[in-house]
Chains A and B, each alone.
Chain A
Amino acid sequence: MLTKFLSGDQPRSRALTAILLMILICLAGAPLLFDGVRPLDTAARICIFIVLVASYDLLLGYAGIVSFAHTMFFGLGAYGVALASTYMGRGFDALIVGSVAGALAAVVLALMIGLFSLRVRAIFFAMITLAVASAVAVLVSQFSGLTGGEDGLTYKIPRVLTSANRMGEFLGTRISGKILNYYLIFFASLALFLLLLRIVNSPFGRVLQAIRENDFRAEAIGYRVVWYRTAATCLSAATAALAGSLFAIWLRYVGPDTTLSFEIMLDILLMVVIGGMGTMYGAVIGATLFIMAQTYLQNLMGVASEATHNLPLLPHLLEPDRWLMWLGILFILSVYFFPTGIVGRLRERGKA
């Protein structure tokens, strides 16, 4: 039964299973287990980023394609919901129309970029996605009449999903629409993640991996490499857009910095590589770790920076704003020494 949910792709390591279970339990019980707004917000972000990073893993880890346009697709989904909610008024119909429109737009754009650049050379794809994504980010901030520009858009979502909707108490926790909203995010994310797991374990996913290992041979056996790569790009883009829609539903705000910026793209790269490329579960570990670090590591570094303030240079290196540097170094080291990331390490240890 459980195996079927996981599409036969089990964690294959006792430690990994334990960690995944713990993350699942914490996320599932977040509203009951933790008090306050901030933990719930962190939990929702983790859910959404797990999907976003897993959809990127489909591309990077399974198809072996590097894209820098993943935030663009994420942003399309987010802006879809935002625009629909702004112009259609609050309502579930706006959320659905926005999500579907965002996902469709993402697929169309991914199809165009894919057919255009993957046909020539896989390496073009990385560069062209970088260029296209930056152009879209500029467009969004320039057409402020429609998109709110740099300020972004604030809009209303159905009342049922907001904290204004009180639904009584459960085990001492006040149940509000916010918690309902959280569970919408949680279950949608879970479903999308399981769907991605299914995709990578399907025959389609196996062909992708064959292409990643040796595209020349895959082509010789008779697989249309371009077609498969483009299809993976589209699937990944659609999922990223849906994650974006969830993000928009949760935040009730979208702006270029929160959905489209290159910084988020780098975050996604860090999460997938540190968690483990080509494993799917790596997305869970990577996203959780990264967002926790984003929230809590900076405090720790602040303390360390304080403690070393008499020494030269060191306090500057340990300053909370420099946390990205340390993750960057960790990132480079992971690519060299454990390209399968944390998940790969845990699995190897399990075998030994």
Chain B
Amino acid sequence: MTIAPDHKPTFAKMSLGEQLGKAMPVLLIPILVVLGFFAIGAPSSWLTLTVSGLAMGMMIFIMASGLTLVFGLMDVINFGHGAFVSVGAFVGVSVLLALGGWTGTPSLLLNIAAVLLAVVAAMAVTGAMGWGFERVIVKPVYGAHLKQILVTVGGLIVVEQLIHVVWGPDEIFINRPETLKGAITFAGAAMEKYRLLAVAIGLILFIAMRMVLRRTKVGLIVRAGVENGPMVEALGYRLRMVFVGVFIAGSALAGLGGVMWGLYQEVITAGMGERMMVLVFIVAIIGGLGSIEGAFIGALLVGLTQNYVAFLEPKLALVSNIALMTAILMWRPQGMLPVVKAK
């Protein structure tokens, strides 16, 4: 062994500005929450709105996570992602309606069991659908964005119509299980139990996703694949298999999001997924396509903004998200946490 050459590697220290720039996306959430506090004035309304904003954000995140990863990994943009949201909602709600005896009694255990069964059924169906969708609709048009958009929109139309065929043309109303109805009061603010549950589930899922992406080998392969797919292949991993897996998982998560959103709204329609896509896209874009963390932050920003603005000036609620998107893209044209693509 020869002596290593005189070479003392160091990192240049990041300036305060750079550090702030890096942390800024995360800081936006508390900044927004504080701004909301001053704009709204009344602490109890503010707390209620913050909880519902976070709940909405978590649900959008669950729907958006699969979309953004699928894009990052294979450069596939799935405009039909909303179909999984709708199908998930219909399957889940059907299960809940069938288990009316379990959801109608005020037993926490039975209620949770019913919801769990509904979620499992919805995720199984949408996961399987995702697998089929990938094979039939998406796979033949890899690498061609224009065709991808057209074909996945076509898939969305067909799936929506199939929902009508199976479940009929009307919307379906659903009551939340007994123990998830109502609100708890904290510091004078009413917070719906269901929203708190949604926040908890969203947080758990986000942490779990991060763990999988950071601590497992499959997670490493996914993250590396988002950055430089060909190199991952050259190291000996079949990216296509990983991609199909992510597509299925993403579809199943969209299905979960559908069930949660359905219970949140207490009514489901075949077009609900299509309408959610607007928010899902905004979240994926402002987060930075391909970034799970970005989607998470983006979703919370969208949820909070929408709820605060809906309280302050109801007519501007949806437009507020466009404004948010515009502002963030002016600041960072590639989104808040852009994925650095090789080359």
Contact = CB atoms under 8 A, between A and B. Distances in A.
Taking the complex as a whole, does A directly touch B, i.e. does some CB pair lie under 8 Å apart? Answer: yes
Interface of A: 60, 64, 66, 116-117, 119-120, 122-124, 126-128, 130-132, 134-135, 138-139, 142-143, 262, 266, 269, 273, 313, 316-317, 319, 321-322, 324-325, 327-329, 331-332, 335-336, 339
A117 B153 CA distance: 20
Nearest to B152: A332
20 contacts: A64-B146, A66-B150, A122-B145, A123-B77, A127-B285, A130-B277, A130-B278, A131-B281, A132-B322, A134-B275, A135-B318, A138-B319, A139-B315, A269-B153, A273-B150, A328-B158, A331-B157, A332-B137, A336-B141, A339-B147
Contact of B285 (A128, A134, A266, A331): A128
Contacts of B140: 336
Nearest to B280: A127
Which one of A120, A127, A273, A321 has the greatest number of beta carbons of chain B within 10 Å?
A127
A100 to B, nearest CB: 26
Contacts of A117: 329
Nearest to B147: A335
Contact of B155 (A64, A135, A327, A332): A332
Nearest to B137: A332
Interface in B284-343: 284-285, 315, 318-319, 321-322, 325-326, 329, 333-334
B169 A321 contact: yes
Contact of B278 (A124, A134, A321, A335): A134
Nearest to A323: B161
- Say what secondary structure dominates the interface of chain A: helix
Contact of B321 (A126, A131, A317, A319): A131
Interface in B130-166: 137, 140-141, 145-147, 149-151, 153-155, 157-158, 161-162, 164-165
Nearest to A144: B315
Given A66-B146, A328-B161, 13 more contacts: A64-B146, A120-B333, A127-B281, A135-B318, A139-B318, A266-B157, A317-B165, A324-B157, A325-B161, A328-B155, A331-B154, A336-B151, A339-B147
Contacts of A269: 150, 153
A139 B162 CA distance: 30
Contact of A325 (B146, B158, B278, B322): B158
A327 to B, nearest CB: 8
By Cβ-Cβ distance, the 7 closest A-B pairs, closest first, are A325-B161, A328-B157, A332-B154, A127-B281, A328-B158, A331-B154, A142-B315
B331 to A, nearest CB: 13
A335 B329 contact: no
Nearest to B168: A316
A143 B315 contact: yes
B63 interface: no
Interface residues of B, number: 39
Contacts, number: 100
Contact of B329 (A120, A132, A325): A120
A296 to B, nearest CB: 19
Contacts of B121: none
A335 B281 contact: no
B158 A124 contact: no
A333 to B, nearest CB: 9
Given A66-B146, A266-B153, A131 B158 contact: no
A139 B321 CA distance: 13
A147 to B, nearest CB: 12
B165 A135 contact: no
Contacts of A332: 137, 151, 154-155, 158
A322 B164 contact: yes
Contacts of B281: 127-128, 130-131
B322 A131 contact: yes
Contacts of A331: 150, 154, 157
Contacts of B325: 128, 131
Contacts of B89: none
Given A322-B165, A332-B137, A119 B333 contact: yes
A328 B270 CA distance: 15
Nearest to A119: B333
A325 B164 CA distance: 10
Contacts of B274: 262
A326 to B, nearest CB: 9
Which one of B141, B150, B322 has the greatest number of beta carbons of chain A within 10 Å?
B150
B263 interface: no
B285 A335 contact: no
A97 B146 CA distance: 36
A91 B274 CA distance: 40
Nearest to A126: B149
Nearest to B75: A123
B252 interface: no
A129 to B, nearest CB: 10
Contacts of B282: 127, 131
Contacts of B326: 116
Given A64-B146, A127-B285, A332-B154, A116 B278 contact: no
B277 A328 contact: no
B322 A328 contact: no
A335 B150 contact: yes
Interface string B19-45: 000000000000000000000000000
A327 B161 CA distance: 11
Contacts of A266: 153, 157
B210 to A, nearest CB: 25
Contacts of A116: 326, 329
A45 to B, nearest CB: 21
A262 B285 CA distance: 21
A322 B161 contact: yes
A128 B169 CA distance: 30
A120 B238 CA distance: 31
A232 B321 CA distance: 27
A332 B141 CA distance: 11
A122 B289 CA distance: 13
